[in-house]
Structure 1
């Protein structure tokens, strides 16, 4: 999963992210999830999420430029690292990195045939997957895309070959016994120690692949130290290479990333001359940039005023959808006060999610309801309410106070003290700068905590990835942008020691149940096991799901083949197909 402001954190993933920042039913705004649709370009995106706003190639100009607004700079270019696992980084690198599967707007995984001709399970005991690579696939310097790339990216993410590679996740990779190449490197055979339910997650767009032949130039990839050295190099170095239809021609720090077609690409060539990712960290400035034609596409975190401004613009179409992006409050369990479960349970119980929704995203859509699971959304098979029974998110202040008094906490003169008599120190809650909805959510959290005698300071951050990975928060609000693979994603986010488990949650019983789910080939049984883990985690009050986060896209009517995609792949999933209408 990516963190979003992977994960892909965004945090894809955050892909965010994430996942990170990493999520089958209706999605990407499909299946009746639309609450706002203006203009004509996205008129049929509810019914046809994968094909709306389409135009055949002969109706597109050859050339032209599209500027696409992103809300964060790219300080780390390694999207499979914990720090680089940010949604915006995933967007920018989507056109550069090879990957096996990606998510379409209907939230389903699709094989990326530009890179992989086939991917099949050839044995279940042991589980074996064989990938046949596209023989035409090459990196931009002419080096063939091969099994070496699979092996390198496996090594830096399995948690064993490179202990110092701070990967976003080792989920699935840590269950692989071997990765071997044959047929001149164009066949990859993966054998698992134990079955992995979400095997399509591996080397997919939630993580993608970095070139092994370049890694060799920046470290001995047969040693842990050399792997770590190369892994770090990919994070600190702007890619001058590419393995996709686009390549970076110019990077201006904190301003823009310009991508142009990769002339070495073997697949369908982009029609556009360039796509420019313009960094606009203050979302309130995006409508003005759109109206002034400084950008032609925005994909902001939706805000009431922002959406209302866009609705008034001529020749601009917009769309709101719900997918697998979900908003949440997280505690940092390294904080001594928050390491105590009763305090966490009380704070989350006092939060009134319905009221919070009404005062934030409920201002522009009536489709959003409290989310009651950490791994599934209501459109997915497997969704089960694991939160309501705990009382968390209910806004029951009296119940919250009883949790505290029963545990020995005392409230005197609006100051809560722990059972030893020590006052609970002031907490810091963080949110992404410029995001008014998240600022409001943090202020509502602080107001609620004050009723329990806990002081909370609201503080923004302009680098969500660094803030989460360094643990520079007590409470934080952001969204996971997930992939279609909930089982591997669960371990990535909640497993002990996992890269996306920023708040350092650890419960051996949860780890065990997630591992069982992750190795169960029966999807129904896997979902049941994961929900058992989810019920325990809900009781532990580490993360409070708030709601499915609406996604909002607004675009010039001149741009064809761009559409909402409420997954970690985002609207850029098909960037090579974008074009300007004649």
Structure 2
């Protein structure tokens, strides 16, 4: 996988998702190439919990791995990586450059797994959710968020329209404030942007079933009537209907075991969910309604949830799973090197580790990191080099290096120049004395820092211990706020003070920094807000010149380090291992990494597992 290392050097970091991980024979059942009875098992380190990866709650790799295979769309990335237009689902074309006008058309034969056609109603719901153009103005949902789970509470107002997509007014579909036009007998919509947008090809994700949303939100039984109700609500800007529609879109697709209602996991992709046992596994089977180009060969894929990477290696050795992609550690590398009949692929991933600080969110004024001196002091105690040398260098060797940019991937154009000027040098080494002085000057006496991380991830447990010990030398009391449900808690006001996790790249979008660092962005889990950063991101969204893009990103990078937003630590070393029983595994640097071409996987023994 050395080619992946090269790919990192060629691209800036893409759009991001929360990462919990490093990330035949037989008779054909039909002309598609599907092998009846064929099955394999893969392992992932975090359990699935939401079928809607476009909400702030559900935007996580553990969820998006599944929906990538079950919810089809207009394009996807291969492992070059390059963007592939999925013309077997539908087509899109630029109708006009000025104003930027894009037409999306779904093919006639595309259906949901219940047989219902995919059409303009599904696309219009996607636009309403991802643009938030119809949301109730100035509504803030934070006080209605459960600090224990990160989900909205039962007290959430029933009379407001609020799509939890994190859309902002100057990026993506947030720039499409006019209601799109429907055409082609209800199979197309045409969207006009308020201004140019450099990454317009990436702004329209796979849709969820509009008829299911309306049936649950509005109590409608007939599928076609339900679709029409969605269209009517959007075109008439009917808040009374849009309020429950948005509420169901936000939370109705969250589940941690197989729902009683099969309509909650309808599919348009090559696979569909068939079984799901809480915290154990989720099983996908070939979707009989899928008519696209990415026809699967394997009939059934089961994904087991194994948080402990050594346990994943053991499961691979025992033949309980066929494919693993655990977070790499020295123990993992040693264990895999000793296995026979196993192919091991290593390289650098598109995921990076970091510590973020939760800023004053207006509802927690006593937040310790409201004070910039305290933020700076704490960041000076993060033992970045020790974490790298202790936990990463034994795996990656000379490829292990500190990542010192919030924006650029090491090796990408602009990285070296940005690092030289962004102020990260002040945090290259631990500075206990400097931290002590800043803490004393701040006047803050309660130095407790609640650090959220994945408590069932051994590498993160070790990182926490190193951070806790180092910060204690400067007078910080870092308390263990580790949780197995860490992903759902991210962004919850007052649930923690600092977080330790990884951002995984999902695309090569130049505008990827917006959702994370812009005020109100879907990935802005820290309540960070800087008007200058917002303005620069707005400029980046409409800038098509590569050199100018890099210059803007360098400015953003320096502001983030100057505001003591947090620290980046390392780019993930990647490891994927699979048994000789399976072929076609060819990991990508971008999410969904090993799953990007699951339809190309095949088994070599011609049957299902024993």
Q: TM-score range by the shorter chain?
A: 0.7 to 0.9
- The correspondence of residues 69-108 of structure 1 with structure 2, limited to 5 A, is 69-108=43-82
- CA displacement 1:316-359 (0-9 Å, x = unmatched): 11112223211111111146221111221222233342332111
Residue 336 of structure 1 pairs with residue 310 of structure 2: no
Q: Which of 254, 263, 277 is the equivalent residue of 1:235? A: 254
Q: Secondary structure at the match of 1:247?
A: strand
SS of corresponding position for 2:460: helix
1:65 aligned residue: 39
The answer to whether 1:397 aligns with 2:431 is yes
Q: Deviations over 1:376-412 (max 9, x none)?
A: 21344443554554234311416734xx63x6x42xx
Tell me, yes or no, if structure 1 residue 504 matches structure 2 residue 527: yes
State the SS of the aligned residue for 1:374.
coil
SS in 2 for 1:141: coil
- Which residue number corresponds to residue 219 of structure 1? 217
**Which residue, 77, 84, 97 being the options, matches 1:110?**
84
Question: Structure 1 residues 350, 253: closer, same or farther in 2, change over 3 A?
Answer: closer
Matched, 1:375 2:407: yes
The secondary structure found in structure 1 opposite 2:248 is helix
Residue in structure 1 matched with residue 124 of structure 2 by the alignment: 151
Whole-angstrom CA distance in 1 between matches of 2:51 and 2:188: 28
Determine whether 1:363 maps to 2:379: no
Query: Judging changes above 3 Å, is the alpha-carbon distance between structure 1 residues 289 and 245 closer, same or farther for their aligned structure 2 residues?
Result: same
The CA deviation at 1:530 is 2.5
Superposed, which structure 2 residues align to 1:408-557 within 5 Å? 409-410=439-440, 419-420=442-443, 422-471=444-493, 472-557=495-580
Contact 1:14 1:88 in 2 (8 A): no
Distance 1:216 1:568 in 2: 31
Do 1:64 and 1:274's aligned partners in 2 also have CA atoms closer than 8 Å? Answer: yes
Contact 1:148 1:181 in 2 (8 A): no
Write out aligned runs for 1:307-346 (5 A).
Answer: 307-334=333-360, 336-346=367-377
Shift of 1:98: 1.9
Write 1 or 2 for the structure with the bigger share of helix: 2
Cα displacement string for residues 245-273 of structure 1 (whole angstroms, at most 9, x for unaligned residues): 11111111111111111111102532212
Counterparts of residues 211-290 of structure 1 (less than 5 Å): 211-219=209-217, 221=230, 222=233, 223=239, 224-231=242-249, 232-236=251-255, 239-268=264-293, 269-290=295-316
> How far 1:169 sits from its partner (Å)?
4.5
Where do 5+ consecutive residues of structure 1 fail to align?
Answer: 1-11, 22-27, 30-56, 411-417
Distance 1:333 1:387, change over 3 A: farther
Where does residue 331 of structure 2 map in the other structure?
A: 305
1:562 corresponds, among 575, 585, 593, to: 585
TM-score by length of 1: 0.83
Deviation at 1:14, TM superposition (A): 7.1
Query: Structure 1 residues 293 and 338, CA, compared in 2 at 3 Å: closer, same or farther?
Result: same
Distance in 1 separating the partners of 2:90 and 2:32: 27
1:15 aligns to 2:17 (yes or no): yes
| Cα deviation digits, residues 63-115 of structure 1 (max 9, x gap) | 41111112122232221111111111111221111222222222322222331
3-state SS, counterpart of residue 345 of structure 1 = helix
Mapped contact 2:273–2:283 kept (Cα < 8 A):
yes
Match of 2:204 in 1: 203
Q: 1:83 to 1:328 in 2, by over 3 A?
A: same
CA change 1:264–1:61 in 2 (3 A) is closer
- Report if the CA contact (8 A) 1:147-1:180 is conserved: no
**Distance in 1, Cα, partners of 2:434 & 2:420:** 14
Mapped to 2, the partners of 1:400 and 1:160 lie a distance apart of 47
Counterpart CA distance in 1 for 2:315 and 2:133 is 47
2:596 corresponds, among 550, 573, 581, to 573
Q: Name the Cα RMSD after superposition.
A: 2.7
Name the counterpart of 1:193: 194
Worse overlay, 332-341 or 555-564: 332-341
| Matched-pair contact (CA < 8 Å) for 2:88–2:292 | yes
**Does structure 2 retain, via aligned residues, the 8 Å contact 1:430–1:442?**
no
Aligned equivalents of 2:552, 2:300: Cα separation in 1: 47
User: Equivalent residue of 1:210, what SS?
Assistant: coil
Counterpart residue number, 1:166? 164
SS at match of 1:329: strand
Structure 2 gaps, min length 5: 1-13, 24-30, 136-160, 219-229, 234-238, 361-365, 606-610
Q: Distance in 2 between matches of 1:508 and 1:253?
A: 42
Q: What is the aligned residue count? A: 520
Contact 1:103 1:569 in 2 (8 A): no
Aligned in 2, Cα 1:254/1:469: closer, same or farther, shift over 3 Å? Answer: same
